[in-house]
Amino acid sequence: MQLPLTSSSLLLLPLMTLLLNSVSAEHQDAFKMNYDNVNELKNNEIMNSKNNNKNNNNPTSDHRFQLLDEIMIKLGFATDDIGVSSSSSFNNNNNNDDDERSKKNPFFPTCLSDLNFKVESHLKKNDKKFTKTQRESEFTVKNVEKLGDNYQLRVNSIKNPEKLGVEVLADQYSGYLDVEDEDKHFFFWFFESRNEPSKDPIILWLNGGPGCSSLTGLFFELGPSSIGPDLRPIHNPYSWNKNASVIFLDQPVNVGYSYSSNSISNTVSAGKDVYAFLELFFQKFPQFLQNEFHIAGESYAGHYIPQFAKEILVDHPERSFELQSVMIGNGLTDPLNQYPYYHDMACGVKSGYKSVLSEDECDNMLDTLPRCLSLIEACYSTESVWTCVPASLYCNNAQMGPYQQTGLNVYDIRKPCVGELCYEDMKYIDEYLNQDYVKKAVGADENIEQYQSCNMEINQNFLFQGDWMKPIFKKDVQTLLDLELPVLIYAGDKDFICNWLGNLGWTNELEYADHTEFSSKDLEAWFVDGEEAGEFKNAGYLTFVRNYDGGHMVPYDQPEAALAMIQSWTLKGQKIEKNGTVY
């Protein structure tokens, strides 16, 4: 996950990075909750908000950060030897060397603390309402009866795919979902199947963050092409559109090519817009209504997908399309049952990899775990920002901080963290998508000044809503299983941030009709073209897959095995074949 920051789910954006940027903690003792102070804190929030609205025009002095300082102090949020770095030591402008900076921010390796996430709007200056800068579209779709007059879908076919070079073997479309009264504009890019688009399944792909573009998944993981150092597309023979048509949706707004003068701050509010997008998409492409439709994603999409699927199945019986299954890779869904496994993953306990921490560091993670879990339990019980935000801060710092101090890649325990989001090649995606000819070819609206893979402001908004630790997404999965919707949870076994142990752990604990059978089953070997590629188990409508030698982004590390898994699931009736193959 990220502590807060990643890319697409990409990556859960590291919360640690947020702390380094903005959160100040003075006290260096032990973290304790004192609920007697909650009402006082709420009153202080109101006063801080009023004072800051009057007197403070500095966007980095968000009143929520000041409030958070008070929460941390008045609730006894202490940092001791798993401390939270102070904002003053991070935000100063002096040119300390890396060693000095590491001392001030002891739990953040230089490669992470130096990440430069863009927090300013990527819209051109002076653009307040954006309808005048929208590019002309070939098709505009509305459905007043189901959605009212508020939603419209603008669609363009990619006219010169050879020049763009991303996909030349299948038709492709791009465009925007416009939410008129809220001034929200969601970008999408749709690739038809290279095989038989009239029969092959449809997959909606979502990256996480929260606040990261799904185009990261397109170009770094599972799309028709990757981007090379020369900013030219490189054909991907293992693209998921080999036997499926795939939609990449930039959501929430202000991610990637999506934009708005407003913002989204929690997963639930984003679900309504995704439903509206799908309703209009299938209205524009009715030939796909008979095809099986799936939603897939990774990382913070472990929040998005359960909520969006529930929105579709429970809240919209009038829908024109059907949802066949959901697939979540290396996701964050049930923190209470996932956080105990950060220790095991970092310290080599039944993880399949060696320990990367010292014995003392591993002991310290165990010592702080009970307090972490008690805070998450408080969040689960109240679902309040007053319990969920402190749980996020304390647990991410205590259970992820020691690992991040090593300088290793949080998305792949075998590798050092080098470059943007710990991957050097990630920068080529931003550079490619910021070229004017690319923007024009895909129909990105003209007011988009700069494509950005991840938007830290969105990540902060989700954090301050307490979205990170809430239990509703686990409950949503239970609802989906009760509705007999197949659910695939898969995880690369070299990821730390949303590791396979935690994903196996929470699925084993999930209460549903076939819980006893699922939790009692052992994992069995899974093969791809004769080679052992992982392990899996299934009971009822729930399936878990461990992907050998995959990191946070399984299609990036193991493209052939990932494609075999997805083909087996989508083409073989939502089953994982013990002896899989790439079709």
C-beta atoms surrounding 363 within 10 Å: 13
Among residues 225, 495, 515, 557, the one annotated as catalytic is: 495
Q: For residues 217 and 188, what is the distance between their CA atoms, to the nearest angstrom?
A: 13
Asked if 52 and 63 touch (Cβ cutoff 8 Å), the reply is: yes
Phi and psi at 413, nearest 5°, equal -65, -15
Range 189-219 burial, b when 16+ CB lie within 10 A, else e: bbbbbbbebeebbbbbbbbbbbbbbbbbbbb
Q: For residues 349 and 361, what is the distance between their CA atoms, to the nearest angstrom?
A: 14
Supply 413's token pair: 């325990």
Q: For residues 500 and 370, what is the distance between their CA atoms, to the nearest angstrom?
A: 21
Range 61-80 burial, b when 16+ CB lie within 10 A, else e: ebbbbbbbbbbbeebbbbbe
Asked if 501 and 556 touch (Cβ cutoff 8 Å), the reply is: no
CA-derived radius of gyration, the chain: 23
Phi and psi at 310, nearest 5°, equal -65, -40
Is 515 one of the annotated active-site residues of the chain? no
Among residues 87, 344, 552, 557, the one annotated as catalytic is: 552
Q: For residues 433 and 218, what is the distance between their CA atoms, to the nearest angstrom?
A: 12
Which amino acid, one-letter code, is at 312? I
Among residues 9, 174, 258, 299, the one annotated as catalytic is: 299
Is 89 one of the annotated active-site residues of the chain? no
CA 219 to chain centre: 16
Q: Which of 303, 301, 325 is nearest to 541 (CA)?
A: 325
Is 303 one of the annotated active-site residues of the chain? no
Q: For residues 287 and 273, what is the distance between their CA atoms, to the nearest angstrom?
A: 22
Query: CA neighbours within 13 Å on the CB side: how many for 519?
Result: 12
Torsion on CA atoms 35, 36, 42, 48, rounded to nearest 10: -110
**Helix boundaries (H) for 128-194:** 144-147, 161-164
| 3-state helix/strand/coil string of 363-427 | HHHHHHHHHHHHHHHHHHHHCCHHHHHHHHHHHHHHHHHHHHCCCEECCEEEEECCCHHHCCCHH
The enclosing H or E element of 246 equals strand 245-249
Catalytically active residues are 299, 495, 552
